[in-house]
């Protein structure tokens, strides 16, 4: 830890050992911030923390499962004890799962909602009061809370049901947080990140899933198809995790709420809003690529 670390701004980043979280940690370090790096993967976290320390940052690595309230509370206590209220909280940890929505088991819902939604809710619940207190004590103090949702929080593609639900909830939580903070302060700001397909490790989230190994059934055909689709889409992503992390810091600097990695994907949001306002059934998500929709229907109907 450098001698002036207590005078630096502090960032708390979950999912910090890879993907957006690691790239955000690198940017925070280059900006001279203290970095609290939280992740469920202890080995990857240790390596990532060493890298960020090599960039000159003071780092507090913290292994946790964000779905566990007590563990996020412990993260908050450790952060406050070390550096006080953080100036940036990036509630970023997330997992993915696919398949026909009725084929998800109760444990699938618990896992995805636990990480994607409750991980964000716990981060907001734990850190916002401390940030508000810091703002009340210092009129120059400023803080930002960034929650990672997805374009899946704004549209509803098939075979992504549990993931869609979790990310729509994060968008709703974040929009409400924005409105609630506006009532309480002008010094703490909310943001929501809605990335599209970006090469990260989310297609292999199951590797960190714990608790029901002996109860898991073999994946259904639709789940195998959804996994293949996700791996293909993620691997072909043209926008990097580093670029997305930079978009996050750019939005924080500009105090801009919505953060998109692929603005062109908003055409799907527009179609959805038009369907809602016109009382139309949801549009065919494969209207522009009917051959893909036909292949998917054929694959699912012969299973």
**Catalytic residue numbers?**
163
The whole-angstrom separation of Cα 85 and Cα 17 is: 22
What is the helix (H) or strand (E) element at residue 179, kind and residue range? helix 161-184
Is residue 79 within a helix (H) or strand (E), and if so which, with residue range? Answer: helix 69-83
DSSP string, 23-68: HHHHHHHHTT-EEEEEES-HHHHHHHHHHHHHTT--EEEEE--TT-
Beta carbons within 8 Å of 23's beta carbon, 6+ residues apart: 241, 242, 244, 245, 246
Eight-class DSSP state of 81: H
Q: CA angle, corner 39, sides to 35 and 44, nearest 5?
A: 95
Sheet harboring 34-39: ordered strands across?
59-63, 34-39, 10-14, 88-91, 143-148, 188-194, 258-260
Q: Please provide the DSSP assignment of 221-274 as one string.
A: HHHHHHHHHHHHHHHT--S-HHHHHHHHHHHHHHT-SEEES-GGGHHHHHHHHH
Rg over alpha carbons for the chain, rounded to the nearest Å, is: 20
């Amino acid at each position: 830890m450098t001698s002036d670390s207590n005078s630096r701004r502090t960032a708390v980043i979950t999912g910090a050992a890879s993907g957006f979280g690691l790239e955000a940690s690198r940017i925070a370090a280059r900006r001279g911030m203290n970095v609290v790096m939280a992740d469920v993967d202890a080995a990857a976290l240790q390596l990532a923390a060493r890298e960020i320390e090599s960039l000159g940052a003071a780092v507090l690595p913290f292994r946790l499962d964000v779905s566990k309230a007590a563990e996020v509370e412990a993260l908050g206590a450790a952060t406050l004890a070390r550096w006080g209220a953080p100036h940036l909280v990036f509630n970023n940890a997330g997992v993915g799962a696919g398949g026909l929505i009725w084929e998800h088991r109760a444990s699938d819902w618990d896992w995805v909602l636990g990480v994607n939604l409750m991980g964000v809710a716990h981060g907001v619940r734990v850190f916002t009061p401390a940030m508000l207190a810091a703002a009340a004590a210092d009129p120059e103090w400023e803080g930002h809370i960034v929650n990672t949702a997805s374009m899946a929080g704004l549209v509803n593609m098939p075979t992504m049901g549990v993931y869609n639900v979790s990310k729509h909830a994060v968008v709703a939580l974040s929009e409400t947080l924005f409105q609630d903070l506006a009532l309480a302060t002008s010094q703490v700001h909310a943001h929501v990140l809605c990335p599209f397909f970006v090469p990260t490790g989310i297609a292999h989230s199951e590797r960190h899933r714990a608790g029901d190994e002996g109860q898991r059934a073999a994946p259904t055909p639709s789940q195998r198809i959804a996994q293949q689709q996700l791996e293909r889409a993620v691997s072909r992503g043209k926008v990097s995790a580093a670029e997305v992390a930079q978009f996050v810091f750019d939005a924080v600097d500009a105090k801009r709420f919505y953060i998109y990695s692929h603005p062109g994907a908003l055409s799907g949001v527009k179609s959805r809003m038009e369907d809602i306002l016109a009382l139309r059934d949801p549009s065919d998500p494969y209207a522009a690529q009917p051959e893909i929709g036909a292949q998917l229907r054929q694959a699912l109907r012969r299973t």
